[in-house]
Amino acid sequence: MAKVLYISYDGMTDPLGQSQVLPYLIGLTQLGHEFHLISFEKKERFEDEGKKIEILCKDAGIHWYPLRYTKKPPLLSTIYDVRRMSSLAKSLQRKNKFDIVHCRSYISGLVGLKMQRLYQTKFLFDMRGFWADERIEGGIWNIKNPLFKTVYNFFKRKETRFFNNADHIISLTSTGKKEILKMHHSLSESRITVIPCCVDLEKFNPENYSENKIDAIKNELHIQSDEKVLGYVGSIGTWYMLDEMLDFYTVFKEKYTGSKFLFITPEHPDHILERAKAKGISSESIIIKKSAHNMVPAYMLTFDFSIFFIKPTFSKSASSPTKQAELMAMGIPIICNAGVGDTDTIVMEHCAGIVIRNLDNASYKQQLDKGILFDSLKATKAAQNDFSLNEGVARYQKVYESLSFNG
């Protein structure tokens, strides 16, 4: 079994760390691997969740080394964090002699490359998406600014080194894998494993919740039993197309009079309500609820339909929305747009909802008039077979075994 240094620039106290890092590490620890985990934690979240994560890691046998995430000044703070990341990684390597350095995304990959060169550790590049392109396409870096252009070019050069030097690469999507192979012809297909964002089926199981429980939640949210609910779950952020989703709701509301649009999100309500008002949508039709992670499945079950529209850019070809697997596992019909990772292929193949090709009112109306093709049994079975946490752990296990065997 492998001794692994896992490096994440995301925090374990963040929702992403709790849903898409720790469950995998706990499962792999149970299979005999030893993990030392470096993560970068935001002050407020660490104060709220740090003790809980510390206990969780200790109980699982994971050695956790949380560092404070530095936000300001831009770029310089990241350089500072990378230096601290590298220093701690080298210190831990001298004590523990790791077999594998598992790097989540590009910032961590900088340290993985260095560790591979200095200590001959195996470098596992868990790319999570085309990160540098995400910064440009998401408007976070302005390519017209010479400084950001320099930083972008630096990371694109590093990206090439990540792909060429990594002992193995993890892609969230088959579409992303094809793009990598298209750009890097010398890469062997066998060096890339596709592991989508998976779901803990024990938590996201509709059988955990009685009708009375769901009725009580609807009552809490002032949703009448005869009202249709269009639901959105998660942050709005850079990539999710709030205006287009609100436009869809205006058409949805024409078909389902008296329906509600329920947002389960940590976002401040004002931003959503302001955009809804600009679209002529009454605030009475919008419900915004902040929820603890463990309560999200229950709130999901109030949805009649779920929606997420994501900007269909090049970088998103490598994206796997966590909510997709969760919604499929819960048996909730998905309404999504095309051009994002493998999402449209999966939704269509497993009758998990509808894919909208053109984001305009005429297309929304046409699709709603046609009806939403949904097979709950087929969708939940696909979630169980392809997107379960156990399946994700099993795929990582194969990668670790191959790296250990080749080492």
| Token pair recorded at residue 100 | 């594998």
| Mean of per-residue pLDDT scores for the chain | 95
Nearest to 352 by CA among 370, 369, 327: 327
State the alpha helices, DSSP H only, in 200-330: 211-220, 242-255, 269-278, 296-300, 322-329
75-134 residue pLDDT tens:
999 999 999 999 999 999 999 999 999 999 999 999 999 999 999 999 999 999 999 999
Q: Against a cut of 0.85, is the pTM above it?
A: yes
Percent helix, strand and coil across the chain, each to the nearest 5: 55, 15, 30
Nearest to 6 by CA among 160, 17, 406: 17
Burial of 89 (0-12, 13-18, 19+ CB in 10 A): buried
Mean pLDDT for the stretch of residues 229-251: 95
Which residue ranges make up each domain of the chain? Answer: 3-198+388-406, 206-386
Mind giving me the DSSP string for 188-200?
-GGGEEE----B-
Quick one: pLDDT band at residue 407, thresholds 50, 70, 90?
Answer: low
4-45 residue pLDDT tens:
999 999 999 998 899 899 999 999 999 999 999 999 999 999
Superfamily of domain 3-198+388-406: Glycogen Phosphorylase B; (3.40.50.2000)
Q: How far apart are CA 13 and CA 10, in angstroms?
A: 9
Mean pLDDT for the stretch of residues 196-222: 95
What's the confidence (pLDDT) of residue 15? 84
- Regarding the domain delimited by 206-386, which CATH topology (the fold level of the hierarchy) does it fall under? Rossmann fold (3.40.50)
CA 150 to mean position of chain CA atoms: 27
